[in-house]
Amino acid sequence: MFSNYLIGLREGLEASLVVCILIAYLVKTDRRDAIRPIWIGISVAVLIAMGFGCALEFGSQELTFEAQEALGGSLSVVAVGLVTWMVFWMRRTARHLKSELHGRLDAALAMGTGALVATAFLAVGREGLETALFVWASVHAASDGTPRPLIGVALGLATAVFLGWLFYRGALKINLAKFFTWTGGMLVVVAAGVLAYGFHDLQEADWIPGLTHLAFDISDTIPPDSWYGTLLKGVFNFQPDPTVLQVTVWLLYLIPTLTLFFAPVGFASGKGKVKTPDEQGSRPSKAPQA
């Protein structure tokens, strides 16, 4: 349940901040007449995201078992890819998100109502679709026949909306760069579990061999129906009897992704290298006087 709460909180807060920045900018610039098109675009984005999630859930129920597992596994891999891209993108742009949105909004204001609707729709819609897909994949991986995963997502989204409102009212101040960095790191851990379970689904669908090749089986030590087994399942998507492929995929994704994620920004592109005095623009030393 915690992992799904984290997804709802992280993704919901990102969307809430986008909404707050757009609305606050229009109020500050005395363009309240443009607020209605912004809400229209946001509402359309939310409805499409909810419709996409419902289509995934109810559409998959009509499939055969093998087709359900193949769909679940494939979409889990896609969802992890999108979420991984998103957390890296937000880590790089968190400090500049406000100015970037202001620039887009200025351009939309100059173009008219349709552009405002499109700006709000695109700003929120991308996150909405990504969230719907990742939530579906995570719930599919962690579901044990109870509504707890969905309750966790709903509580996370409700918390995000409340925090967004506090941000808008100026009652709460958080270092967003650090917040998105640490929640992004935790989300990578959740994504690793979703990815491993996705490959298990592909094995169940007989797309990938090795379903009977278990890496270990500690079901007697950590029963899946125990409170601690349920806790590990809810937080890390832990499985007491994973296949060799699941463990391999989990390690190959988690270790390099976390290493890159917590590396200094710009390290991979060489921006983190130490500059020479000339590159720093330091003053040349004075020539020794005679």
16-31 tens-digit pLDDT: 888 888 888 888 888 8
Give the pLDDT confidence of 27-44 residue by residue, as tens digits: 888 888 888 888 998 899
Confidence at 280, pLDDT banded by 50, 70, 90: very low
Highest mean pLDDT among 9-23, 39-53, 177-191, 272-286: 39-53
Q: What is the mean pLDDT of residues 137-161?
A: 73
* Domain positions in the chain: 2-261
Whether residue 118 is predicted with pLDDT greater than 50 in this model: the reply is: yes
Confidence at 259, pLDDT banded by 50, 70, 90: very high
Compare 228 and 162 and report the one with higher pLDDT.
162
Whether residue 82 is predicted with pLDDT greater than 60 in this model: the reply is: yes
Compare 232 and 268 and report the one with higher pLDDT.
232
Whether residue 222 is predicted with pLDDT greater than 60 in this model: the reply is: yes
Highest mean pLDDT among 121-135, 169-183, 274-288: 121-135
Indicate the residue type of 95. R
Q: What is the pLDDT of residue 258?
A: 92
Q: Can you name the residues that pair with 214 across neighbouring β-strands?
A: 243
Whether residue 58 is predicted with pLDDT greater than 60 in this model: the reply is: yes
| Cβ atoms 9, 159 nearer than 8 A | yes
DSSP state letter for 274:
P
Q: What is the pLDDT of residue 211?
A: 81
Q: What is the pLDDT of residue 148?
A: 64
Whether residue 275 is predicted with pLDDT greater than 60 in this model: the reply is: no
Confidence at 253, pLDDT banded by 50, 70, 90: very high
Highest mean pLDDT among 3-12, 135-144, 153-162: 153-162
Q: What is the pLDDT of residue 147?
A: 57
Indicate the residue type of 49. A
Q: What is the pLDDT of residue 256?
A: 94
DSSP state letter for 128:
H
| Cβ atoms 87, 167 nearer than 8 A | no
Q: What is the pLDDT of residue 7?
A: 77
Whether residue 268 is predicted with pLDDT greater than 70 in this model: the reply is: no
Tell me the pLDDT of the chain averaged across its residues: 78
Q: What is the pLDDT of residue 277?
A: 38
pTM listed for this prediction: 0.69
Q: Which long-range contacts (CB under 8 A, 24 or more apart) does 244-247 make?
A: 244/210, 244/213, 244/214, 244/215, 245/199, 245/200, 245/203, 245/208, 245/210, 245/213, 246/196, 246/197, 246/199, 246/200, 246/215, 247/196, 247/215
Indicate the residue type of 250. W
Q: What is the C-alpha radius of gyration for the chain, rounded to an integer number of angstroms? A: 23
Dihedral of the alpha carbons of 287, 280, 263, 19, in degrees to the nearest 10: 160
Q: How far is 217 from 233, CA to CA, in rounded Å?
A: 15
3-state secondary structure of 282: coil
Of 203, 184, 198, the residue nearest 92 (C-alpha): 184
| Cβ atoms 183, 10 nearer than 8 A | yes
